[in-house]
Structure 1
Amino acid sequence: MKSITLIIIMSLFAYMPGKAATGDVLRDAEPVHRALKAVTDIMVHDIYSPPVASRIYAYVSVAGYEAAVPADQRYLSLAGQLHSLQPAPSPALGKPCDFTVAAVEAMLVTAKALVISEDSIERFRLQSIQEFRKRGITEDQLQQSLVYGDAVAAHILAWAAKDYYRESKSLPQYTVTEDDASWKPTPPAYMKAIEPNWNKLRTMVVDSAPAFKPAPAVTYAADTGSVFYKNAVAVYKAGLQLTAEQIDIAKFWDCNPFNLNVRGHVMFATKKISPGGHWINITRIACEKMQAGVLQTLEAYAWVAVTINDAFISCWDEKYRSRVVRPETFINRFIDEAWTPLLQTPPFPEYTSGHSVVSMAAATILNKLFGQSFEFLDASEMEFGLPARNFSSFEAAAREAAISRFYGGIHYMPSIENGVKEGAMLGLFIAAKLITRK
C-alpha cells in the first residue's frame, strides 16, 4: 500500500504545471468558458439532479477537449484512457480549421443532445457562431471548423450512448421499507429516491463503481448509548447552536438544484447549481486567474468533469448499498419531533456525503493542475444571492464544503469524514492515471 501511495505522490509532482502553458497556440479561452457557463445555466433551469449533471459536464467537457487536441502536439487525447473511448475524427487535411470554434461547437452540440432545453442551447450556439464571425474568421474556415466540431460531438455522443444511462432508467427503483434503519423520503416534498441505479453506469477512469468503497457505515441503533444515536445527537445539538459563520458556510455550499419552499399553502422551487457545477465554476476561476489558454482550460475542465462523474458513481454505489436513514428522520422520531435541519434534506440515502466525496476528488485534481496552495476568491454563489468566500487552497474549500453538510443538519460526521477519504483516494487514482501532456 505504501508503494502505491508513493507512486501516486511522485506522479503528481512530476506533472504539476502551476501556471499557464507557455506558447499556447490558442490563447483566448473566453468562448469556452461562456459555452460551459451556458450549459450550466440551462441545467439549473432544467433542474438536473447532481449525478445527472455530472454526466452532462463530463461528456461536454471531453468533447471540447478532444476537438481541440490536434491544435497542439504537446497535448494528448483521452482516447484509450477513458473507458471505451476511441480516437475522435481528425480535422480534414489541408482544410482551414479554427480549433476554438471546433471545441465550442463540439461542446454545444453534445450538450444539446443531453439536455431538455435543446432550443436554449441552439440559440446560444447560433449566437456563438455570429460572435466568431465578428472576430474576423473567414466563412470557409468557420464552416470547416463547425463540420469538424460536429463530427467530434457525434463521436462523443455515440460513446455516451453506451454508458448504460438509458438502460438504468428501466431498472427497479428504490423501494421504501418499514425498517427504521433504511432511508425514508423527507419533508417538505417527500420526493422519491434519486438515481438508485447510478452505480450501474460505466465509469470513465476508475475501474468500477465500488473501486473506492468506503469503510462500512455505522450500524443503526436507536438506544441512547449507541454510536449511531450519539452521532444523531451531535447533528441535533449542532443545529441548535450554529454560529453566523457556520450558517453562512452551510448556505454557501448548499448547491441544491431543487429547494422546495413552503409559504403557507404556496410551494415554489429555488434553483441553484449542483455540487459538480460549483466545482466546474471553481475550475473556471482557477483558469482565469492563471490566464490559461484554450487547451489548458479544456484540459482542466475535462479532468475535473470526468473526476466528478466517477465520484458520483462511487458515492451513489455506497448510498444505495448502505441505505442509511437521514438525520432529520431519526431525530424527529427519537430525539425531537419538531427539529428541522438548516438545509433541506436531499432525496437520497445519507452515507457517504456526496459533497464530501465530490469536493475532495475535484480538489485533488485541481491541486495537480494548479498547485496545492492556490488561493482564490469563490464567487460561484453570488448570482444566487450569497457573498463570495476566500480560500487558501482547493483542499481548504473542499473541507469546508464537506463540513457544511454537518452544519446544514443533513449528514452525520462519519459520512463526512469517510466521504472525504473516499474522494481523496479516487482523486489521487485519477490524477496518477490520466496523461494529457507529453
Structure 2
Amino acid sequence: MKRIFLIFLISAGIIFSCSEKPHQKTKVEAADLHSLMQKVTDITVHDIFSPPVASRVYVYPSVATYEVLATNDSSYKSLGGQLNGLTPIPNYTNEEVNIDIASIYANYLTSKMLIFSEDMLEEWLAEWKLKLEERGLTEAEWEASIAYGKLVHEHIKAWANEDNYKETRTMAKHPLSDKPNHWEPTPPAYMAAIEPHWNKIRTFVLDSADQFVPQPPYQFSMEKGSPFYKEMMEVYEVVKNANSEEKEIASFWDCNPYVMNVTGHVMFATKKITPGGHWMGITKIAAKAHDSDLMESSYAYAKTTIALADAFIACWDEKYRSNLIRPETIINRRIDEDWTPTLQTPPFPEYTSGHSVISTAAANALTDVYGDNFHFVDSTEQKYGLPSREFDSFMEASREAAMSRLYGGIHYRKAIEEGIWQGQQVAQEIRKKITFRENNSIAIK
C-alpha cells in the first residue's frame, strides 16, 4: 500500500511539474516587422504624405521598435541620451511580456498616431495577431506584451510631440517673390511650396538644421558664358537627348507623391512612393538578403530612418534659404516655352536636390550596417509598374538616384553635387555621435 501511495505521489509530482512548465514565448519573425513597415509605406502613398513628413512617419516607430528590442540584447545600446530629446524608455516587470511582440506593437501604435488611414493599420494588426495565435500566442502573453508596448509608445509619443511638428502646421505659407532667380509654382497643378518650415523640426542627431550648409547655388545670370546659364542649358540638352536608359533611371527614382495628370478639364493624382519610402524598401530587401533576424532588421530600419529624417531637415533648410528657381520655369520663360522635363517638377525650391541628400545619407547608413559591395536587386518600384534594377552597393544606388534628377530635368548639376556632399555630412555626423553597437556592421556573422 505504501509503495502504491509513493508511486502516486511521484506521478502526481511529474504531472504537477509539467503543468507548471512556463509558457514558451511566441516566436516573432523579422518578416512581421517588414510587413508592418511595408503597410506603413502603403499608407503613406494612400494618404499622399509629402517626402519630409513621410520621413517623420518612419523614424519614430522605428526607434520605438529598436529601443524595446535593445533592452533584451546586450550587444545593442539604447538611443536614449544619444538622440536629441530622447530619454531611456521605461523598463518592464511582468515576466509574461514578450519583448518581440511589445516592440512591434509599440511600432504599430506610434505609426497609427502619425498616419490618417488608421483602419488600414488596424486590419494589419488583426491579421498579425491571428498569425501569432497560430504560433501559440496566449491571451496572457498578448495582454502583457501590448501593455508594455503601449507604455513605450507613450514615451515615444511624448518625445515626438516636442519636435515642433504641430507648431509648423499653423505657420505661414511660403511667400512668392518677384525676383527672377526665386522659385515659382510649376505646372500642371501650380501647388504651393510644401513644408517651408521643416527646418524648425527638431533634429535627431544634428546640432541644428543648418549645421551643414552647402556652397550656395551659382549666381543667377542669363549671360551665355555664366555658370548658371551653362548648367541650365545642360538640363535642357540632357532631357532633349535622353536615351532610354536615362529615362528609365529618371522614372525609377521619381518618387514624387504629387504627380498630377491632366485630361481635358480633369486633373487627377497618380499616387507614388516617396524617396524615403523607396529606401525603406531597399532596407527590407537588404535585411531579407542578409537573413537578418528581428533585432538586426530593427537596427537597419532605425539607423536608416534617422539618417533620412535628419537629411530631410538639412536639405529643406537649404531649399528655403536659397529659394532657387526650377529648370522648367526658367527654360520655358527664356529658352523654349514648349520644353517639358522628363519628370514632373515637385512643388518646392530646387537647391539642393532632396533625393541626392537623403539617398546619400541612407546609403551610408545601410553600408554601415551591411557593409560595402552589397549586391542587391531593387524591386521596390515593381508594384508601381516599374522594372527592378540591380546594384553592387548602396552607394552605387544612391549615386544613380542623385543623377536621376538631372536625367529627369528637375535639378541642376550643382544641386546634385552639393546634395551628395550634404548627405555625406549628415551620415558622418550620425556615425560619429551615435553608437548602436560596438561594431556597427553586422555584415560578418
Moved more, 132-141 or 320-329: 132-141
Equivalent residue of 1:406, what SS? helix
Decide whether the 8 Å contact of 2:209 with 2:314 is kept in 1: yes
Specify the alignment match of 2:312 in structure 1: 312
**Off by >6 Å, runs of 4+ in structure 1:** none
**Distance in 2 of aligned mates of 1:139 and 1:186:** 55
Specify the alignment match of 2:80 in structure 1: 79
Query: 1:339: Cα distance to partner?
Result: 0.4
Query: What are the ranges of 5 or more consecutive residues in structure 2 without an aligned counterpart?
Result: 1-25, 439-445
Query: 1:75: Cα distance to partner?
Result: 1.4
After superposition, give the CA deviation of every residue in 1:200-245 in whole Å (9 maximum; x if it has no partner): 0100011110111111111111222221111110000011000000
Letter paired with 1:255: C
Specify the alignment match of 1:121 in structure 2: 121
**Distance in 1 of aligned mates of 2:365 and 2:189:** 35
Q: Provide closer, same or farther for how the CA distance between residues 428 and 26 of structure 1 changes in structure 2, counting only shifts above 3 A.
A: farther
Question: Is 1:199 matched with 2:199?
Answer: yes
Decide whether the 8 Å contact of 1:312 with 1:358 is kept in 2: yes
After superposition, give the CA deviation of every residue in 1:94-146 in whole Å (9 maximum; x if it has no partner): x2222221111111100111111122212222222222111112221111111
Specify the alignment match of 1:67 in structure 2: 68
Moved more, 338-347 or 419-428: 419-428
Specify the alignment match of 2:347 in structure 1: 347
Q: Provide closer, same or farther for how the CA distance between residues 26 and 210 of structure 1 changes in structure 2, counting only shifts above 3 A.
A: farther
Equivalent residue of 2:85, what SS? coil
Give the total of aligned pairs.
413
**Distance in 1 of aligned mates of 2:225 and 2:187:** 28
Specify the alignment match of 1:145 in structure 2: 145
Specify the alignment match of 2:393 in structure 1: 393
Decide whether the 8 Å contact of 1:360 with 1:420 is kept in 2: yes
**Distance in 2 of aligned mates of 1:278 and 1:433:** 26
Larger Rg, first or second structure (1 or 2): 2
**Distance in 2 of aligned mates of 1:358 and 1:392:** 19
After superposition, give the CA deviation of every residue in 1:226-278 in whole Å (9 maximum; x if it has no partner): 21111110000011000000000000000011210112222221111100010
Decide whether the 8 Å contact of 1:332 with 1:338 is kept in 2: yes
Residue pairs, 1:255-270, within 5 angstroms: 255-270=255-270
**Distance in 2 of aligned mates of 1:126 and 1:137:** 13
**Distance in 2 of aligned mates of 1:26 and 1:253:** 36
Aligned-CA RMSD value: 1.2
Decide whether the 8 Å contact of 1:27 with 1:292 is kept in 2: no
Specify the alignment match of 1:58 in structure 2: 59
**Distance in 2 of aligned mates of 1:355 and 1:152:** 32
**Distance in 2 of aligned mates of 1:173 and 1:260:** 21
Equivalent residue of 1:212, what SS? coil
**Distance in 2 of aligned mates of 1:375 and 1:27:** 27
Query: 1:26: Cα distance to partner?
Result: 7.4
Specify the alignment match of 1:31 in structure 2: 32
Query: 1:27: Cα distance to partner?
Result: 7.2
Specify the alignment match of 1:99 in structure 2: 99
Letter paired with 2:147: V
Equivalent residue of 1:211, what SS? coil
Decide whether the 8 Å contact of 1:255 with 1:275 is kept in 2: yes
**Distance in 2 of aligned mates of 1:415 and 1:245:** 22
Question: Is 1:234 matched with 2:234?
Answer: yes
Q: Provide closer, same or farther for how the CA distance between residues 328 and 76 of structure 1 changes in structure 2, counting only shifts above 3 A.
A: same
The percent of aligned pairs where both chains have the same amino acid is 48
TM-score by length of 1: 0.92
Decide whether the 8 Å contact of 2:28 with 2:101 is kept in 1: no
Q: Provide closer, same or farther for how the CA distance between residues 26 and 218 of structure 1 changes in structure 2, counting only shifts above 3 A.
A: farther
**Distance in 1 of aligned mates of 2:371 and 2:400:** 18
**Distance in 2 of aligned mates of 1:192 and 1:323:** 13
**Distance in 1 of aligned mates of 2:329 and 2:221:** 14
Decide whether the 8 Å contact of 1:186 with 1:345 is kept in 2: yes
Specify the alignment match of 1:132 in structure 2: 132
Equivalent residue of 1:245, what SS? helix
**Distance in 2 of aligned mates of 1:35 and 1:345:** 31
**Distance in 2 of aligned mates of 1:353 and 1:232:** 15
Moved more, 50-59 or 428-437: 428-437
Query: What are the ranges of 5 or more consecutive residues in structure 1 without an aligned counterpart?
Result: 1-24
**Distance in 1 of aligned mates of 2:76 and 2:335:** 57
Letter paired with 1:126: A
Specify the alignment match of 1:277 in structure 2: 277
Equivalent residue of 1:154, what SS? helix
Letter paired with 2:75: R
Equivalent residue of 1:377, what SS? strand
Specify the alignment match of 2:382 in structure 1: 382
Query: 1:372: Cα distance to partner?
Result: 1.1
TM-score by length of 2: 0.91
**Distance in 2 of aligned mates of 1:212 and 1:181:** 23
Letter paired with 1:338: D
**Distance in 1 of aligned mates of 2:42 and 2:330:** 35
Question: Is 1:244 matched with 2:234?
Answer: no
**Distance in 2 of aligned mates of 1:171 and 1:384:** 34
Residue pairs, 1:427-438, within 5 angstroms: 427-438=427-438
**Distance in 2 of aligned mates of 1:406 and 1:177:** 25
**Distance in 2 of aligned mates of 1:212 and 1:177:** 26
Moved more, 215-224 or 276-285: 215-224
